[in-house]
């Protein structure tokens, strides 16, 4: 079975079972912590879910992964097609996931390497030495931004809440430390700004969970 046929086959099954369950693409996406664009791409056969997502989809529809992979025209005459397709999907999905994890790890490593390199280059200069330590605090926020950007580009939103929170508190920490190092001002009240920010993040994600429930009930 070629890749294009497999993508089309799985996409058609996802669309059929989704409609049977009375779910919109957005409702299904929220249940899986993906975007509706990702679901749309699956159904059009432009991309294919990984193995874990296929298992989530099957559980959501009350079916098996085999049902999502099944081809009504090919299966009756070729019992080995399903097993072969499952093996292909599993191998490719696991490889893609491993590649993404490597990219995430390399990206984080690059951020901290740049911070360390800048620290080493600035340290010999007396007037820059105290500022060089700030780079590690800035790297916290930069690292979270990089990871958030990559995961969003891959339509993987499972860690968005944590990463956005890290960006908010990382920015506040960076500002606080900068004020202390540059002006010798300790302004702890600055962190109070993080409270409404954290509440806003919580309410934002809660709103989408509520919409998901409404779509499911509707």
Does 172 reside within a domain?
yes
CA distance 204 to 192: 19
Does residue 91 lie within any of the structural domains? no
C-alpha to C-alpha distance for 17 and 126, rounded to whole angstroms: 66
Query: Does 166 lie in the same domain as 118?
Result: yes
Is the residue at 93 inside a domain?
no
Taking 70 as the threshold, does the pLDDT of residue 99 lie above it?
A: yes
Enter the pTM of the model: 0.59
| pLDDT given for residue 108 in this prediction | 95
Question: Residue 63 maps to which CATH number?
Answer: 1.10.260.40
**Assigned domain for 138 exists:** yes
Structural domain of 39: 3-81
Same domain? For 134 and 75 the reply is no
If asked whether residues 72 and 138 sit together in one domain, one would say: no
pLDDT tens for each residue of 35-92: 888 888 888 888 888 888 888 898 888 888 888 887 645 444 444 455 555 555 556 6
């Amino acid at each position: 079975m070629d890749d294009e046929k497999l993508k089309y086959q799985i996409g058609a099954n996802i669309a059929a079972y989704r409609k049977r369950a009375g779910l919109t693409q957005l409702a299904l996406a929220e249940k899986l912590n993906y975007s509706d664009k990702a679901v749309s791409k699956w159904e059009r056969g432009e991309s294919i879910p990984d193995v874990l997502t296929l298992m989530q989809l099957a559980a959501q529809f009350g079916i098996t992964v085999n049902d999502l992979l099944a081809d009504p025209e090919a299966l009756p005459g070729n019992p080995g097609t399903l097993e072969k397709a499952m093996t292909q999907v599993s191998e490719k999905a696991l490889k893609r996931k491993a590649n993404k994890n490597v990219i995430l790890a390399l990206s984080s490593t690059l951020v901290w390497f740049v911070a360390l390199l800048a620290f080493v280059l600035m340290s010999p200069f007396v007037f820059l030495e105290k500022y060089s330590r700030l780079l590690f605090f800035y790297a916290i926020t930069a690292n979270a931004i990089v990871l958030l950007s990559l995961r969003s580009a891959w339509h993987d939103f499972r860690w968005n809440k944590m990463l956005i929170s890290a960006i908010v508190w990382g920015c506040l920490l960076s500002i606080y430390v900068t004020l202390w190092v540059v002006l010798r001002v300790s302004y702890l009240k600055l962190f109070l700004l993080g409270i409404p920010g954290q509440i806003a993040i919580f309410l934002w994600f809660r709103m989408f969970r509520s919409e998901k429930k409404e779509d499911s009930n509707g």
